[in-house]
Chains A and B, each alone.
Chain A
């Protein structure tokens, strides 16, 4: 039996730490996509199965402007990350703030739509199957927007404090992957809820 440990040839570490962040974010996105898939399946499965009103076409209004806001925030975050890679911190900050503003505008849009439906029309999550599936699906997405906005805001604070530099570009890329995902999910939700489901 060999009591002392064996010696392996010496070497430097060769993995790139930034790769694991990207891999992990892609895994997280896969997991989240699976969660959304189940909610979308439930939404589609229950379309038209409510025993009482209201129907989607009675209460939903298509949030075109707010959708444009959210989708264009994908562009601004893309260019923000690009500026950071080039070391242009100022334009990074401006574009980043624009991203947050567009995201917040979207959230505001969801907020007023829900306010109208709940307080004016009395349509809630327990009204019927449509209410249950609608509020859960859109709410789950809105929750992800909130999480995204919080993370974006933390970066914004650090930017204002002058702590964000070009070498953080890889991390910003990882975060923007998440934001792109939130936008992509909205395309699916929008199609299912406002195009097919109405």
Chain B
């Protein structure tokens, strides 16, 4: 037996020069540091893309507004969407996965630490390249700067004819390069979960967090690769005179849509599965009950993984597909709601009869449950092809996916931040500020995204830079924009809380939540080697077993 807390000689150490510290962070291959780098990187882009969203909404606050030009508006929504998906949510998720998976499965690092660092820097480089377009693309041709083709960049808008200059190339390369990073991380996660688990931890007893991220990584491999292929084709078209998406030479614009959405729909599950992973760890701990239906949760996750590969063309109902194709994609879209619904019931059943503690992480997860349910319901509305012919390309779609991505994924992310902040920093966050953040943000969220459905139903198209007064859209747009300011205030409280707590927070101790997974068995923050001795586990809640030797979980599993 040995203890993790090794007594250090108490000689005062001189402060290290900042360059040395910086050098250490840049050259690190430690999964915890890389995780934190991912998270900080994503936070920076969250602020940038958030400001872009605010400018978009200010432009739309009233009809005939002139806050930004139409050209500027196109660039803003393109950069906002691309950044939020590829350089905010994905790096957040990879960051938490990197930090937590080795700790949760009792390993000392990821399977390939150097591949891990490589992947992070590829992702980072991709994001920087995207924003370098603001100066780079302009300087070279004098035609346009930031990309303005929308986050799904439909052909033929991306051809040399319609996208002169290099802005679109920056978009392509940014996604291509960060895509390599994502694939590298996915490979790493799979190898880690499959090969690095501590003795006694089987696939059937590892935390759901590991399961959900395993399936997420599978989806990255199967979905990001087609995007990579499509981007290569687009580059061939733009630079070598190819005709893949060139309708003048017999090429097809619709096949780009297929290639993009073959990536695009699984991508939304890549974003949401890690959010499910957070909820599956947080809800049981604050309900003081083990997760309800572990194996059903795993099964539902695998089902989601498979079905999500076969629903992509529900983004293309308005293109005019054959009725056979419409039928197929309507049915598969309805089918995916089933495993997703099963998960919601499992989380509810976990809370049912539990001793619920309404700490900040739990508040965010409860809000997630309600909001994700509503977002799934609007998803089903759009999944019915005839209804989608009315809703397609309207603000209703925008409301739907923000309901999922903000109301579902971002809420879970905030919950994860509060839940694991004590582990990562060693400090307790301020519960008061956390609750303040929650309430301000949830008000802002509902003001913005509840009311955004209505102009969509009334026929307001997405991506218009302004609109005529008197169509019944004015009031709704006004309310929607007001909500944005609440959300921004919430984010500021959140950042303030993180910074304040990091410097002033109380010491958190290794296990502030009385939780059950292995990351809480080591110090906060964990030492570079994670565990002084590799743990051995016998059940899904190793720390429960440790704390209750008379009533261990493995008697029941």
Chain A interface (Cβ < 8 Å from any Cβ of B) = 1-16, 19-20, 23-24, 27-28, 30-32, 34-39, 42, 45-46, 49-51, 125-126, 128-129, 132-133, 136, 140
- A-B CB pair tally, cutoff 8 Å: 164
Question: B236 interface residue, CB < 8 Å from A?
Answer: yes
Question: B183 interface residue, CB < 8 Å from A?
Answer: yes
Instruction: For the complex, give the distance between the alpha carbons of A127 and B273 in Å.
Output: 44
Q: Which of B1, B230, B255 contacts A10 (CB 8 A)?
A: B1
Interfacial chain B residues near A13, Cβ < 8 Å: 199, 534
Counting chain A CB atoms within 10 Å of each CB, the highest count among B192, B242, B507, B531 belongs to B242
Asked if A27 and B186 sit within 8 Å, CB to CB, the answer is: yes
Q: Which of A1, A16, A128 contacts B509 (CB 8 A)?
A: A1
Asked if B195 and A20 sit within 8 Å, CB to CB, the answer is: yes
Smallest Cβ-Cβ distance to B248: which chain A residue: A51
Asked if A129 and B536 sit within 8 Å, CB to CB, the answer is: no
Given known contacts A1-B511, A12-B199, what 17 new A-B pairs fall within 8 Å (CB)? Answer: A1-B512, A4-B5, A4-B510, A7-B3, A8-B536, A8-B537, A10-B533, A12-B534, A23-B190, A24-B190, A31-B222, A36-B229, A42-B244, A45-B255, A49-B250, A129-B243, A136-B236
Given contacts A38-B259, A129-B243, contact A50 B250 (CB under 8 A): yes
Restricting to B227-283, which residues have a CB under 8 Å from any CB of A? 228-230, 232-233, 236-237, 240-244, 249-252, 255, 259, 262
Given contacts A11-B198, A136-B242, contact A24 B187 (CB under 8 A): yes
Counting chain A CB atoms within 10 Å of each CB, the highest count among B198, B226, B237, B249 belongs to B249
Question: B546 interface residue, CB < 8 Å from A?
Answer: yes
Question: B398 interface residue, CB < 8 Å from A?
Answer: no
Interfacial chain A residues near B197, Cβ < 8 Å: 15
Q: Which of A24, A37, A126 contacts B242 (CB 8 A)?
A: A126
Nearest Cβ in chain B — how far from A68, in angstroms? 29
Counting chain B CB atoms within 10 Å of each CB, the highest count among A24, A39, A125, A128 belongs to A24
* Chain B interface residue count, Cβ-Cβ cutoff 8 angstroms: 65
Q: Which of B194, B250, B509 contacts A51 (CB 8 A)?
A: B250
Q: Which of B191, B251, B533 contacts A24 (CB 8 A)?
A: B191
Interfacial chain B residues near A37, Cβ < 8 Å: 226, 229
Instruction: For the complex, give the distance between the alpha carbons of A141 and B536 in Å.
Output: 46
Pick 23 A–B contacts, CB within 8 A, sort by A: A2-B511, A3-B507, A5-B3, A8-B106, A8-B521, A8-B535, A8-B537, A11-B535, A15-B196, A19-B194, A27-B190, A31-B224, A34-B223, A35-B226, A35-B228, A36-B229, A38-B259, A42-B244, A45-B255, A49-B250, A50-B249, A50-B250, A128-B249
Instruction: For the complex, give the distance between the alpha carbons of A46 and B244 in Å.
Output: 9
Instruction: For the complex, give the distance between the alpha carbons of A118 and B337 in Å.
Output: 52
Smallest Cβ-Cβ distance to B225: which chain A residue: A34
Asked if A39 and B236 sit within 8 Å, CB to CB, the answer is: no
Asked if B512 and A34 sit within 8 Å, CB to CB, the answer is: no
Given contacts A11-B199, A38-B229, A136-B233, contact A20 B191 (CB under 8 A): yes
Asked if B187 and A28 sit within 8 Å, CB to CB, the answer is: yes
Interfacial chain B residues near A16, Cβ < 8 Å: 195
Question: B164 interface residue, CB < 8 Å from A?
Answer: no
Nearest Cβ in chain A — how far from B534, in angstroms? 5
Counting from the closest, the 5 A-B pairs by CB-CB distance are A126-B241, A8-B535, A34-B225, A38-B229, A132-B242
When each residue 166-188 of chain B gets 1 if its CB lies under 8 Å from chain A and 0 otherwise, what string results? 00000000000000000100111
Nearest Cβ in chain A — how far from B146, in angstroms? 27
Instruction: For the complex, give the distance between the alpha carbons of A3 and B250 in Å.
Output: 69
